[in-house]
């Protein structure tokens, strides 16, 4: 038996040696690919708690140690020293760019920010109060109708133009959704502005007067986009991989990722956190809501708390919490009561045995909404902000999978617990 194998001892002496694969760091994996063919059994892991779906060299997370690295670089260092557009280059190409490479990449993104004018017509069909995530998913999905001419995924140039269009056009689509919601005219992108500045311009400028971009706001957004850029095989990224594994149009795969992210158990949590804090109202109600979160008969959960992987702290939450102080101070915003309530709620939960026993800590969504709100971004747009940051992660994982010579369509099996075989009964005899 090789030193790195596991021996599976089944019923009636049925044995099998399962090879182990070791990565750069993190848990080893047991390769069960031969299990069904040789032993006629499946593994069973609802929610994929203990399942590695692929090999990847993009992002690494250590949930016990609170580690998050993009291409080996700790997120804390990238948050302190990099920019979102540089992180996009890193995630897509695997290395930090030279100045020339960065300038060329950024210039390319800036020059793809406009939408085909026909796409703007979609917004005329939405109700004024349509949720921005519904509009984002629909319009991104429609990109598969506009750009089918350059969709040969085996062509590296087509893969690049797909990446550039998704990164560049998501902010334009996102801001257009917001303008529809508030009944203002769409604002076209400007190529003289960087990624975050351009988004703020398209969100808050109006034709009637000049709009001055607050550097505190653009800096805060850029940092939030870095922190949301990728997170290995999370629900929405796995959705993109699953959809694209059938060789589906990548724009439609990204639209699927947007839909998966919208769920309140995933990226929709940042919007749910603000609604929860507003419902709690003040510190005197915290105990009541913490008890509700602990009550198995109550579906209420503490939004922004807990994580499938982080069983210690979420390093992104730590950085965002520190950012809250700075942004609220510099913007001289009166939202501090909301931030103070969030801090008090965090302290109560972290000292409660129920949360400590289950290793429930604030995650990336717990504080991010407080900053978005301080920047004037409405709650309904919070998950759209998450999608804009995560778009580069989705594209990077799509590219990694679609260029894998061993790519296979994702097709899990099941444990069947339905009816045994039975014969059809004529309706007259039922
Ligand atoms: C994101 O995967 C990623 O990487 C996601 C993400 C990314 O960057 O892509 O990090 C972004 O999605 C962050 C998570 C945002 N979601 C929320 O904040 C929603 C609230 N949290 C949860 O619903 C929950 O914690 C999950 C979905 C995040 C994780 O769920 P798991 O891993 O399936 O854990 P679980 O549901 O099995 O919970 C374990 C226990 C349970 O209690 P017991 O059955 O053991 O008694 O902890 C309890 C749960 O009831 N629990 C909570 C809780 N989260 C878990 N109880 C109260 N409040 C909570 N928030």
Transcribe 194-221 into DSSP letters.
-HHHHHHHHHH-BTTB--PPPHHHHHHH
The structure tokens listed for 394 are 């989705």
Q: Which residues line ligand 1 (CB under 6 A)?
A: 47, 231, 234-235, 265-267, 269, 293, 301-309, 358, 360, 363-365
Closest atom of ligand 1 relative to the 363 alpha carbon: 13
Whether pTM > 0.85 for this model: the answer is yes
Which uninterrupted H or E stretch holds 69?
strand 67-70
Give the sheet arrangement for strand 59-62, strand by strand. Answer: 59-62, 67-70, 73-74
- pLDDT per position as a tens digit, 141-172: 999 999 877 788 899 999 999 999 999 999 99
Closest atom of ligand 1 relative to the 308 alpha carbon: 32
Task: Give the Cα separation of 302 and 127 in Å (integer).
Answer: 31
Provide the pLDDT for residue 4.
78
- pLDDT per position as a tens digit, 68-119: 999 999 999 999 999 999 999 999 999 999 999 999 999 999 999 999 999 9
266 assigned to active site: yes
Q: Is 325 helix (H, G, I), strand (E, B) or coil?
A: helix
Task: Give the Cα separation of 395 and 409 in Å (integer).
Answer: 18
* CA 366–ligand 1 middle distance (angstroms): 12
* CA 365–ligand 1 middle distance (angstroms): 12
Provide the pLDDT for residue 325.
80
31 assigned to active site: no
Q: How many CB atoms lie within 10 A of CB 42?
A: 13
160 assigned to active site: no
Which uninterrupted H or E stretch holds 395?
helix 382-402
Q: How many CB atoms lie within 10 A of CB 91?
A: 22
């Amino acid at each position: 038996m090789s030193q790195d194998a596991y021996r599976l001892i089944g019923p009636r002496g049925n044995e099998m040696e399962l090879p182990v694969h070791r990565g750069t760091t993190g848990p080893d994996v047991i390769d069960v690919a031969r299990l069904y063919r040789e032993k006629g059994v499946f593994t069973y892991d609802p929610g994929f708690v203990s399942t590695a779906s692929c090999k990847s060299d993009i992002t690494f997370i250590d949930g016990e140690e609170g580690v998050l690295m993009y291409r080996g670089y700790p997120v804390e260092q990238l948050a302190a020293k990099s920019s979102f557009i540089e992180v996009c280059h890193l995630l897509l190409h695997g290395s930090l760019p030279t100045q020339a490479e960065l300038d060329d990449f950024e210039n390319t993104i800036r020059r793809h920010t406009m939408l085909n004018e026909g796409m703007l017509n979609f917004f005329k069909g939405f109700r004024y109060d349509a949720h921005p995530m519904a509009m984002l998913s629909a319009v991104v999905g429609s990109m598969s109708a506009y750009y089918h001419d350059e969709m040969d995924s085996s062509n590296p140039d087509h893969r690049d133009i797909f990446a550039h269009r998704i990164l560049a056009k998501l902010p334009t689509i996102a801001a257009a959704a917001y303008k529809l919601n508030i009944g203002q005219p769409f604002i076209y992108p400007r190529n003289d502005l960087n990624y975050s500045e351009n988004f703020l311009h398209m969100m808050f400028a109006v034709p009637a007067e000049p709009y001055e971009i607050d550097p505190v706001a653009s800096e805060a957004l850029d940092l939030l986009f870095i922190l949301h850029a990728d997170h290995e095989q999370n629900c929405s990224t796995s959705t993109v991989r699953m959809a694209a594994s059938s060789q589906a149009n990548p724009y439609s795969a990204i639209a699927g990722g947007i839909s998966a992210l919208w769920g309140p158990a995933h990226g929709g949590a940042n919007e749910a956190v603000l609604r929860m804090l507003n419902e709690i109202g003040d510190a005197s109600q915290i105990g009541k809501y913490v008890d509700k979160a602990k009550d198995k008969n109550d579906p209420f959960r503490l939004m922004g708390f807990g994580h499938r992987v982080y069983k210690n702290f979420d390093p992104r939450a730590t950085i965002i919490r520190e950012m809250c102080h700075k942004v609220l101070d510099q913007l001289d915003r009166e939202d501090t009561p909301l931030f103070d309530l969030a801090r008090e709620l965090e302290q109560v939960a972290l000292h409660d045995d129920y949360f400590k026993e289950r290793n429930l800590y604030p995650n990336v969504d717990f504080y991010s909404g407080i900053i978005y709100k301080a920047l004037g971004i409405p709650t309904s747009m919070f998950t759209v902000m998450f999608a804009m940051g995560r778009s580069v992660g989705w594209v990077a994982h799509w590219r990694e999978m679609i260029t894998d010579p061993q790519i296979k369509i994702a097709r899990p099996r099941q444990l069947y617990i339905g009816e045994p075989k039975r014969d059809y009964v004529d309706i007259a005899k039922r």
